[in-house]
A and B are shown apart, each in its own frame.
Chain A
Amino acid sequence: MLDLTYDAPKPKTLSGATGDWELVIGMEVHAQVATKAKLFSGASTRFGAEPNSNVAFVDAGMPGMLPVINEGCIRQAVKTGLGLKAEINLFSAFDRKNYFYPDLPQGYQISQLYHPIVGEGEVLVELGDGTARNVRIERIHLEQDAGKSIHDMDPHMSFVDLNRTGVALMEIVSRPDIRGPEEAAAYIAKLRQIMRYLGTCDGNMQSGNLRADVNVSVCRPGDYERYMETQDFGHLGTRCEIKNMNSMRFIQQAIDYEARRQIALLEDGKEVVQETRLFDPDKGETRSMRSKEEAHDYRYFPDPDLLPLEIEQDWVDEIAANLPELPDEKKARFIKDFGLSDYDASVLTAEHENAAYFEAVADGRDGKLAANWVINELFGRLKKEDHDITESPVSPAQLGGIVELITKGDISGKIAKELFEIVYTEGGDPAQIVEERGMKQVTDTGAIEASVDEVIAANPAQVEKAQANPKLAGWFVGQVMKATGGKANPKAVNEIVSKKLGL
């Protein structure tokens, strides 16, 4: 495998009245597992269905109903673990986390506290400025999602929809290795990217596919290094957990606010109380969720309805053997094989559909030129119309055709852009369009010479000026380009003009 190497970024520092403070962040990301059915029932996971229509009696917590695990969810969790270079636990088990809330009809969530299915792994989080953070993963466990409560449909009642109840989630728990709001956003983006490559989570944050609880604390410079050396949390500050955020922007705002709040407390001689907080996007601040405190006594115990989950190494090996190429590997390969810059390779591998499109365009052609056209022309044009790559009216073969025509010298860069616009709006085979509409670049020096001669003959005054000041030769080049409808090869025109003017 190819390796990407980066320097570690500097931690975010906030300066307080008594000196500098650093941020320490750990995250619990809840990713909805991409499966057709729920974790323990045969009800559908489809988003946006009629309320309470994707509900089996198991999900509704009806008496006597027993959970039966969906093998698809196990496979997806294992796949995700492998994608995060994590240890897969062949033995895992389910526990009950007990609490009462209207959208949790069982009265407990089935989760994996003591024996998670995935153990330690790591994620390389690039920050786009040539630095990257290696974030350690502590564990991934499978658990049930809760239902949805709607509070704004009636002044006195809350409305509960159990469609999401029992849908499988992967809770991905990181070590406190994230050192600033930007890193936190980049970390989620990277997890999302990897899971989308793997097909294990759709990663749609708006529909709640991907949500994060963020643990924030602050410490003095040097403390974190002492923690890393000893893994003793005593070197770090007291943390607060900000619950359930599904927007990258809010996550960053919440971290920033929370860190400043803690610094203000500490500098005031007060203590940070370990607690759960909620981010209020309207006010841009976090507030305490006191009501949750008592509910924190979850009285976990092994779920007596479920035997331990035992999987075979052969099965894990088979999944590993069929893993797709992951973002880091793909990016490294693009840099090496196509000579792309780190930035271009990042853009092209952000979504696997983009990468596949680019590879089809670059296949057997100039990779750098292909990257330029995909990123600058195609992505630019698609973005203008709010389309994504799957909606592109230009196929990779068509764009590849344009790239080929440029490489062969058949069309100039300027004509190529016109050609792209025609292919984008009208469709058709680029080579044929160039032929039919006479867009071919004139590289025939005889034809260019004739045109240069004509312009020189018609403008004796300009000839004199240009001979006195060679910088003015550009005027002739412009005239020839105009006369040939932009089809003359600019380099050839330049040379011939200089020669004819005796410069």
Chain B
Amino acid sequence: MSIDTDTARKVAHLARIKVEEDELPALAGEFNAILGFIEQLQEVDVEGVEPMTSVTPQRLKRRDDVVTDGDQQDKVLANAPDAREGFFAVPKVVE
């Protein structure tokens, strides 16, 4: 698989990262280098090898169903560029 500038532009847009038009070819080239490395990895025969999910043997940590957090409206809103009446206020988004 090869990434062209159109794909690079689309990926940038999906990630909401602004990339100038003249930077796209270089970016596409970097993507291709990464994909090339992955293609190389795919040559390894992993038949019968279970995918590793953790380097140390551990189980997904769980919490009990108890309320231990929240009640911090001021802190949650502290970094918001705009907040009104306890809500985040953002430019209008309507479907």
Residues on A lying within 8 angstroms of B by beta carbon are 35-37, 41-44, 50-58, 60, 68-74, 98, 100-102, 149-151, 153-162, 278, 289, 291-292, 294, 297, 299, 306-310
Contact = CB atoms under 8 A, between A and B. Distances in A.
Given A68-B61, A70-B62, A70-B63, A297 B88 contact: no
A55 B92 contact: no
Interface string B32-55: 000000000000000000000110
B77 A52 contact: yes
Contacts, number: 135
A51 B73 contact: yes
B95 A278 contact: yes
Contact of A54 (B54, B70, B84, B92): B70
Interface in B1-45: 10, 14, 16
Contact of B54 (A98, A162, A307): A307
Given A37-B68, A52-B86, 10 more contacts: A37-B66, A43-B67, A68-B63, A70-B64, A149-B93, A153-B85, A289-B95, A297-B14, A299-B14, A309-B60
A100 B16 contact: yes
B62 A50 contact: no
Nearest to A155: B92
A157 B91 CA distance: 5
B70 A56 contact: yes
Q: At the interface, is chain B mostly helix, strand, loop or mixed?
A: loop
A154 B93 CA distance: 12
- Across the A-B interface, the 9 shortest Cβ-Cβ residue pairs: A72-B65, A42-B68, A159-B87, A42-B69, A56-B69, A43-B70, A51-B86, A160-B88, A307-B60
B65 A35 contact: yes
Contacts of A289: 95
Nearest to B70: A43
A308 B65 contact: no
Contacts of A35: 65
7 contacts: A55-B76, A74-B62, A101-B93, A159-B84, A297-B10, A307-B53, A307-B58
B91 A71 contact: no
A487 B85 CA distance: 66
A50 B95 contact: no
Contacts of A299: 14
A190 B12 CA distance: 44
A52 B60 CA distance: 28
B73 A158 contact: no
A60 to B, nearest CB: 5
Nearest to A105: B88
B67 A156 contact: no
A37 B67 contact: yes
B76 A60 contact: yes
A101 to B, nearest CB: 7
A155 B94 CA distance: 11
Contacts of A153: 85, 87
Contacts of B59: 307, 310
A162 B75 CA distance: 13
Contacts of A157: 82, 84, 89-92
B72 A156 contact: no
A149 B65 CA distance: 27
A400 B77 CA distance: 57
A60 B77 CA distance: 9
B67 A36 contact: yes
A408 B14 CA distance: 76
Contacts of A53: 70-73, 86
A102 B93 contact: yes
A73 B65 contact: yes
Residue of A42, A155, A297 with most chain B CB atoms under a 10 A cut-off: A42
A74 B67 CA distance: 16
B77 A158 contact: no
A37 B84 CA distance: 26
Contacts of A56: 69-70
B6 to A, nearest CB: 14
